[in-house]
Amino acid sequence: MEHVDALRDEVRELMKVVRLVKQQYQHDNEALAPGVAGMLAVIERLAGGCRLKELAAACALDQSTTSRAVSVLVQDGLVRRVADPRDGRASFLELTDAGRDILRRSNDWYSTLLAAALSDWSRADVELLGTLLCRFRGSLNAQFATTNRNTLEATR
């Protein structure tokens, strides 16, 4: 259990650094809040666009929060609503050229930061970190899903 406690502490420290990175990102990119880049990236990743419900699920946000955020993105000209090609009654979200441009600049900012932070790491270590983070994220997601399912069943 001691090794898990040490990992818990490292995750807390990592979350602190992530908050600092987000603050610096917002300082360097005044027009773009940190969460916006993530939401734009999800829209782009979901086959170039998605429905609001899919975006909310992919961002682990409720639909009302996602809807408010998307309204701002549309107002700012970063995202547009179009008729869903599968169901013309539904709205489909896609990036505008401005949205793709700001996402590219955001990705460049983060890539530059990560490249500098990992400049003295070997390629093998960087790849190992990526593999282990992906595995860790998957394990946390699975645990979270199991915990939520058990909580829901206990309340019924």
What's the pLDDT score for residue 153?
A: 60
What's the pLDDT score for residue 40?
A: 94
Question: Model confidence over 33-65: pLDDT tens digits?
Answer: 767 888 999 999 987 678 899 999 999 899 999
Report residues of the chain scoring pLDDT below 50.
none
Whole-model pTM: value is 0.80
Strands 79-83 and 49-50: unpaired
